[in-house]
Structure 1
Amino acid sequence: MPQAFFALTDGRFVPAPHARSWWVPSMTHGRLLGGLLARTLEAEQPGPGMRFARLTVDLFRSAPLAPLEISTTRIRDGHRIRVCEATVHAGDAVYAKATAVQLRESEQPPDPAPATPAWDAPRPGTLPPHRAGATPERWHLDGRRTWVRETCELVENEPLSPFVRAALAADTASPLAHAGEQQLEFINADYSLYLSRLPEGEYVGLASGGHSSADGVAVGHCTLHDSRGPIGYCMTAAIANPGVRPNTRPQTRSGAGQ
């Protein structure tokens, strides 16, 4: 397995060189901030018998490719709902924040609402070999659908949990929903991941459900899947980044990119 994106040293997350941003090599990739926020919330604010149903990640500003700290706080702690926050900071500067909602598991109603149907995408086990060195691996099935599989640990010597896998994959909703025919010209400002259940296995699939933009502001959404069926949704907002191109373009039409 390739080197982890971060090492945890003296309470700080120290990034490896390949944790750099697509947009600015001296910055940390935004999707990894979302992963670190999810990982820390799960580690420090677990709710027995509760499930993470929403994770909203706000990316205020680009974080430097430098040691980062994450702190958490509990906002509400009820019998059926728990709400917590986490922030990414270095010194006094805050770079990103996440709000998580945990809901208590209970008996499924006998007459639930009609469910989103499973997609007809090829199963992960039938996918062709992937090019070496991609982090993560992506198989773009057509214009707006992809499977994602992480190939690196987020934090050294820590296996990826299903919740962290989902949080890392959710950032793909922005380039999947907002890329044009040739270029990605919108940069992610936030995303909200909604999960009815955690993904099973290493693969998370995303299918773009729509994009709308005007005057440099874009919103879009994707449905998330695992090999068993739909698991939730991701909503994303983005802002135009004119004249700036990712250093490594996340391909959305064909092939596989990082």
Structure 2
Amino acid sequence: MIDCLYRRAGRDGDDDLFLSTDGTRSNWDPQIQHGSPPLALLTKAIEERADGTGLRIGRLTLDILGAIPVAPVRVRTRVERPGSRISLLVAEMLAERPDGSHRAVARVTAWLLAPSDTTDVTCARYAPLVEGPETGLTHAWSGAPGYLEAVSWRKQDTPDGAAAEVWMSPLVPLVDSESTTALQRLAMVVDSANGIGAALDPQRFVFMNTDTVVHLHRLPAGQDFGVRALGSIGPDGIGVTSAEIFDRDGFVGTCAQTLLVQRLP
């Protein structure tokens, strides 16, 4: 039974140690992790490093640097660009090589900005996304064990050719019984934009994302997140998925992902 995505396993020097659970397993390959759990864990590390600075995250960029094994991992953070109004933080996930050394498998960079009162000029370019009845359809990976068992996926009815819409909610904590922030919960689902906006049949093509870039004009709230996504495929095996992100209060921000597209034999 999946009851969390990671278990805390102590500390080694400047590195936090975690055990990856079955809830991190990718729908593409059960030996590697889905992108959302690493994004969420590294977001947690950045939030903890930024605690007390008075800054808030405006952009998160996940770069997947290699196959992320479902195995023990290390997380380390650093301040790349210090500042009282603008700061850049970096969190890396490392996995062990066969020789016992460690390699970076994922990196999240985050721009943190100083908040100020702009209540009187607040605006959002998209109307709120309202959750309706589920269509009864899920996704092309229905029944895949692992990560997709750890989230609720509620596909909405949309016109043919329009961007797909799915409401998602994490079903388990990110780390053991530790509290999970709303931003971490969003990170636990937003990498699924690629699957939501799939423009190709995964029985015929692999289209794995190399990154996930999230821009947030406000912090998310709650447990439920709507993602409206659509993929575009170029003529040379490279694609892009673009998405809008919502919570129950309305539009939160955007997401974009670069895709490597390969035809299956």
User: Do both share a fold (TM > 0.5)?
Assistant: yes
How far did residue 35 of structure 1 move? 1.1
Please provide the CA RMSD for this pair: 2.7
Q: Distance in 2 between matches of 1:211 and 1:20?
A: 26
Alignment match, 2:161: none
2:18 is aligned, of 13, 20, 23, to 13
1:92 and 2:97 matched:
no
1:106 and 2:116 matched:
yes
Identity across matched positions, percent: 25
SS of 1:55's partner is strand
How far did residue 201 of structure 1 move? 1.4
Q: Distance in 2 between matches of 1:215 and 1:79?
A: 43
Q: TM-score, normalised by structure 1?
A: 0.83
Give the count of matched residue pairs: 241
Cα distance per residue 1:141-179 (max 9 Å; x no partner): 035000000001111011221111121222011112234
Q: Distance in 2 between matches of 1:127 and 1:178?
A: 18
Instruction: List structure 1 runs of 4+ shifted beyond 3 angstroms.
Output: 109-114, 126-131, 181-184
How far did residue 65 of structure 1 move? 1.4
In structure 1, runs of 5+ residues without a counterpart are 245-258
How far did residue 182 of structure 1 move? 6.3
Q: TM-score, normalised by structure 2?
A: 0.81
| More moved, 73-82 vs 179-188 | 179-188
SS of 1:142's partner is coil
How far did residue 208 of structure 1 move? 1.6
**Contact (CA 8 Å) 2:2, 2:21: kept in 1 or not?**
no
How far did residue 211 of structure 1 move? 2.6
How far did residue 127 of structure 1 move? 6.3
Give the 3 Å change call, closer, same or farther, for CA 76–243 of structure 1 in structure 2. same
How far did residue 114 of structure 1 move? 6.0
Give the 3 Å change call, closer, same or farther, for CA 65–77 of structure 1 in structure 2. same
Q: Distance in 2 between matches of 1:4 and 1:197?
A: 27
How far did residue 46 of structure 1 move? 2.7
How far did residue 61 of structure 1 move? 1.0
The aligned runs of 1:171-250 (5 Å cut-off) are: 171-180=191-200, 183=203, 185-208=206-229, 211-243=232-264
Q: Distance in 2 between matches of 1:188 and 1:83?
A: 23
Give the 3 Å change call, closer, same or farther, for CA 232–216 of structure 1 in structure 2. same
Q: Distance in 1 between matches of 2:124 and 2:102?
A: 47
| More moved, 51-60 vs 1-10 | 1-10
In structure 2, runs of 5+ residues without a counterpart are 12-16, 96-100, 143-147, 159-163
